[in-house]
């Protein structure tokens, strides 16, 4: 399935995994809507919607940088309309934006709980809601959400229950959309990494350079996204995918090129 001239709306695409996905699909000729908050670079995080837009154009795609706070419904509506006006519609939605707080119940302030639910759950729901009318008209339309399989093992609920349930909510939305939207041929799937991914969030919030050295590069997620979105939306739906499993299904078993430290140990990601 070709990506040329198909429009991909990606939340949180100003850096990290979102940027890697944008560049992968841009290289296939896609139109990329870079929907994120960052218009000025934060030295700790790097990247803006404009720097990614420039990279998308260099990679061979067409770019639309749009400043979006997915906590603001009016802002979402404006961004979706801008995308449709510029490119004539939306074929693919990638729900990548997410907030994280790995604290227990007593140590999770209400404002951080609200932030995770406003972005991870409500924001993902509203972006999808406003993209659906365009996806119904799209070419091989897909919704792909970056969230984990629902794993009710106590080890994932106990340490950071607020964050865990927000991410599981995202995956439950996916399963609901797969059923709700199958009549329209719109696929809904989730994707999660088997190992930690070398991003600013991992460096700054989870484990510093030591964890980065035991992570894989964002390119493994981008490649998995490419293969999922290449599948027919009529039949590839309702899955909670893991990146390395997607690649193995495509006959790709040597994943060493994705490691930050080739040959070194890898750290499993959360929820697996």
Indicate whether 204 belongs to any domain. Answer: no
Q: Is residue 46 pLDDT above 90, yes or no?
A: no
CATH code of 187's domain: 3.40.50.720
**Which residue range forms the structural domain that includes residue 85?**
7-195+218-244
Indicate whether 2 belongs to any domain. Answer: no
Q: How many Cα atoms are found within 13 Å in the side-chain-facing hemisphere of 225? A: 32
Indicate whether 255 belongs to any domain. Answer: no
Burial class of residue 254 (count of CB atoms within 10 Å of its CB; 0-12, 13-18, 19+): exposed
The fraction of the chain above a pLDDT of 70, given in percent, is 99
Tens digit of each residue's pLDDT (9 = 90 or more) over 171-217? 999 999 999 999 999 999 999 999 999 998 888 777 789 999 999 99
Distance from C-alpha of 207 to C-alpha of 200, rounded to nearest angstrom = 10
265 Cβ contact list (under 8 Å, min separation 6): 214
pLDDT at 99: 95
Q: How far is CA 162 from CA 33, 46, 85, 109, in A?
A: 30, 27, 38, 10
Indicate whether 211 belongs to any domain. Answer: no
Indicate whether 50 belongs to any domain. Answer: yes
Q: Is residue 256 pLDDT above 90, yes or no?
A: yes
Q: Which residues are catalytic?
A: 163
pLDDT at 38: 85
Indicate whether 181 belongs to any domain. Answer: yes
Distance from C-alpha of 41 to C-alpha of 21, rounded to nearest angstrom = 20
Structural domain count, the chain = 1
Mean pLDDT of 238-256: 97
Least confident of 88-102, 192-206, 223-237: 192-206
pTM metric for this prediction: 0.96
Question: How would residue 47 be classed by pLDDT, with cut points 50, 70 and 90?
Answer: confident
Give the DSSP H/E element, type plus range, for residue 10.
strand 7-11
Tens digit of each residue's pLDDT (9 = 90 or more) over 126-151? 999 999 999 999 999 999 999 999 99
Strands (E), 41-199: 62-67, 92-95, 142-146, 187-192
Indicate whether 150 belongs to any domain. Answer: yes
Indicate whether 261 belongs to any domain. Answer: no
146 Cβ contact list (under 8 Å, min separation 6): 17, 94, 95, 96, 98, 170, 190, 191, 192, 221
């Amino acid at each position: 399935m070709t990506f040329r001239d198909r429009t991909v709306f990606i939340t949180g695409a100003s850096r990290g995994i979102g940027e890697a996905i944008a560049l992968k699909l841009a290289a296939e000729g896609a139109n990329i809507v870079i929907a994120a908050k960052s218009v000025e670079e934060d030295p700790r995080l790097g990247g803006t919607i404009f720097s990614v837009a420039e990279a998308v154009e260099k990679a061979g795609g067409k770019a639309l940088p749009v400043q979006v706070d997915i906590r603001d419904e009016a802002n979402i509506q404006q961004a979706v309309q801008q995308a449709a006006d510029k490119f004539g519609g939306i074929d693919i939605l990638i729900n990548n934006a997410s907030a994280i707080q790995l604290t227990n119940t007593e140590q999770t302030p209400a404002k951080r709980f609200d932030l995770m639910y406003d972005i991870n759950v409500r924001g993902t729901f509203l972006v999808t809601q406003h993209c659906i009318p365009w996806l119904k008209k799209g070419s091989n339309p897909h919704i792909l959400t970056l969230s984990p399989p629902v794993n009710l093992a106590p080890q994932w609920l106990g340490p950071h229950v607020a964050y865990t349930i927000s991410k599981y909510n995202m995956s439950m939305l996916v399963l609901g959309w797969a059923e709700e939207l199958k009549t329209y041929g719109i696929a809904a799937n989730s994707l999660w990494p088997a190992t930690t991914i070398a991003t600013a969030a991992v460096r700054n919030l989870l484990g510093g350079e030591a964890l980065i050295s035991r992570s894989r590069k964002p390119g493994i997620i981008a490649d998995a996204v490419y293969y999922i979105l290449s599948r027919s939306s009529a039949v590839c739906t309702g899955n909670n995918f893991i990146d390395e499993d997607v690649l193995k299904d495509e006959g790709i078993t040597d994943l060493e090129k994705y490691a930050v430290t080739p040959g070194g140990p890898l750290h499993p990601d959360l929820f697996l």
